[in-house]
A and B are shown apart, each in its own frame.
Chain A
Amino acid sequence: MTTIPLEHVLILASILFIIGFVGVIVRKNTLFMLMSLEVMLNAVGVAFIGAGSVWQAADGQVMFILILTLAAAEVAVGLALLVRMQHCFKSLDIDCLNQLKG
């Protein structure tokens, strides 16, 4: 069975990363920014899994698990903050957060 070149996996990872990045920069709604961050994290995971598959090591998957954990914690905290933001500013526009003062 022929296999997929690692290059293509890396290309996929970078495309997904860039798409997520564009989402972070363009969208003003904090919720969408968080979603785009998830896309970026996911893309990184793709790259790790691909590398792990090439070397037949499980390290790639372990890294992916850690990233997953990170994403989970981040989402939990992020959403809680989002809820606070909605309560304080009555809107989810991230430009409301341009002052250091809360």
Chain B
Amino acid sequence: MIKELASIESLFYLAASIAVIASLKVVSRKNTIHALLYLVVSLLAVAVCFYLMGAPFAAGLEVIVYAGAILVLFVFAVMMFGLSQDDVKHAPQAKGISHWVGPVILALCLLAEILFTIESADVQQRLNATIVSSKDVGILLYGPYLLAVEIASFLLLAGLVAGYHYAKPEAQGGHL
């Protein structure tokens, strides 16, 4: 019993619950900035989980790239284009709770099925506490997954070009 209450594991569960609660708040906020901040919290909590699962590199990446770059990008977009307030007509709360009922039921069905699958698959494995260091990740990246890395760089390039092109101001030939 005491083993199960070991602090490391409880930290994991704590972080997991923070992540879940924060995600719930993300999808239900009216104010965009608040939702983004809750998302940051969720991501940080998940980074903690990663760290406790023995993946520090992933945890670092999560914080730096996901929370630090992608969400900051979101924040910039919100700031620059004045999208801060989700107008009344978009807010689900304005329509009342009935708006949520259908999707929630559908989602709960899906969740139930997934959980049932997981239960019935009878997964016995346990996480290993040993750390998989960034060196191992690097060796893998420059080894078997080299092609994937190159393709990912294509993807980033495409995203870059697209982002630049679509948001060009009119003065420079865009449709903005």
Knowing A49-B55, A53-B128, A68-B66 are in contact, say whether A79-B163 is a contact too (CB < 8 A).
yes
Q: How many residues of A contact B (CB 8 A)?
A: 73
Contact with A along B4-29 (1 / 0, CB 8 A): 10101100110010011001101100
B160 at the interface (CB under 8 A from A): yes
Main secondary structure of the interface of B (DSSP, over half): helix
Q: Report how far A15 CA is from B18 CA in the complex, Å.
A: 12
Residues of A with C-beta under 8 A to B165: 80
Task: Report how many residues on chain B are interfacial, defined by Cβ distance under 8 Å.
Answer: 89
- Binary interface encoding of chain B residues 138-169 relative to chain A, with 1 for a CB under 8 A from any of its CBs, else 0: 01110001001000100110111011111100
Task: Collect the chain B residues with CB atoms within 8 Å of residue A86's CB.
Answer: 81, 83
Q: Shortest Cβ distance from A2 into chain B, in angstroms?
A: 5
Complex alpha-carbon distance, A15 and B167, angstroms: 35
**Bound Cα distance from A70 to B74, whole angstroms:** 15
